[in-house]
Amino acid sequence: MSRIRVISLRRRRPVCHNAVVRRRTSVLIRPCEPDDVPQIASIYGHAVLTGTASFELEAPGAAEMGRRRAALLEGGYPYLVAERDGRVAGYAYAGPYRARPAYRSTVENSVYVAPARQGQGIGRELLGALLLSASVRGFRQMIAVIGDSGNLSSIRLHKAAGFTHVGVLRSVGWKHGRWLDTVLMQRPLGPGAEIPSDLAPAA
Ligand SMILES: CC(C)(COP(=O)(O)OP(=O)(O)OC[C@H]1O[C@@H](n2cnc3c(N)ncnc32)[C@H](O)[C@@H]1OP(=O)(O)O)[C@@H](O)C(=O)NCCC(=O)NCCS
């Protein structure tokens, strides 16, 4: 995939009461490289240990994140990072929604932004680039499986990117001493369901 340079992200910075100003900043959206993996493991590890977006309970290390990345790339799925000031500010990838072959045109996405970089438009840029990247690879539906009904930043991010709310699985997770819902959102990619799938089952 070619590199996408985003030169004007809207950055929110409160100035007084509810007013915000927009500040120009820049981020590079590019394919994930092996050297990015330790920073990705750090971003994801923080989210695993402190948040509800992931239903994992223990933070996987860089070696495990590297294995997961390799499996996704081997399967033909997109894996992107957002680079800012020479550091990984966030990452996004698509992977199989479910393993059985009739699901092969459908992907599930993941988007994570480093805590210090959240609310600066990076998630939006990553998700937009991921949608494009998944579309050109022939995938037709993207599913967001969002950890917890209270994850408003993720729900709003996906809504802003054209996902529609398709359901809630109530109290299917237990983490941080409470029950967690899973919110399902979906967006067609490219021609969606208007024409037949042209992805062959994996050999
Ligand atoms: C969810 C997440 C990826 C969003 O990335 P981000 O860079 O912070 O989001 P952006 O700044 O691009 O904002 C995109 C939209 O999300 C919404 N949003 C972002 N932060 C928000 C917040 N704190 N509260 C409510 N909505 C928020 C807004 O609707 C925003 O659109 P707008 O700027 O037009 O209002 C990021 O907050 C994150 O990594 N969270 C922890 C992990 C997670 O929940 N990942 C999603 C897994 S499915």
For the chain, domain boundaries: 28-188
**pLDDT (tens digit, 9 = 90+) per residue, 12-69?**
433 333 333 334 459 999 999 999 999 999 999 999 999 999 999 999 999 999 999 9
Phi then psi for residue 171, to 5 deg, are 55, 45
**pLDDT (tens digit, 9 = 90+) per residue, 78-90?**
999 999 999 999 9
Alpha carbons 145 and 140: distance in angstroms, whole number: 16
Q: How far is the CA of 202 from the centre of ligand 1 (A)?
A: 34
Q: Which residues contact 125 (CB under 8 A, 6 or more apart)?
A: 6, 9, 27, 29, 82
CATH 3.40.50.10800 fits 28-188, yes or no: no
- The mean pLDDT value of the chain amounts to 90
Predicted pLDDT of residue 18: 32
**pLDDT (tens digit, 9 = 90+) per residue, 113-140?**
999 999 999 999 999 999 999 999 999 9
Pocket-testing residue among 18, 44, 118, 125, ligand 1, by greatest number of atoms within 8 A of Cβ: 118
Pocket around ligand 1: residues whose beta carbon is below 6 Å from it?
A: 47, 51, 53, 110-113, 118-124, 144, 146, 151-154, 156-157, 160
Among residues of the chain, what percentage have pLDDT more than 70?
Answer: 88
Q: Atom 26 (ligand 1): residue with closest C-alpha?
A: 153
pLDDT at 189 over 70: yes
The structure's pTM equals 0.90
Tokens of 54: 């992931």
Pocket-testing residue among 153, 163, 169, ligand 1, by greatest number of atoms within 8 A of Cβ: 153
* Angle, alpha carbons 93-94-96 (nearest 5°): 145
pLDDT at 153 over 60: yes
Average pLDDT, integer, range 136-149: 98
Predicted pLDDT of residue 190: 96
Report which residue type is found at 179.
Answer: W
Using the atom order of ligand 1, give the atom closest to the CA of residue 119: 11
Other Cβ atoms less than 10 A from the Cβ of 106: the count is 19
Predicted pLDDT of residue 6: 47
DSSP designation for 52? S
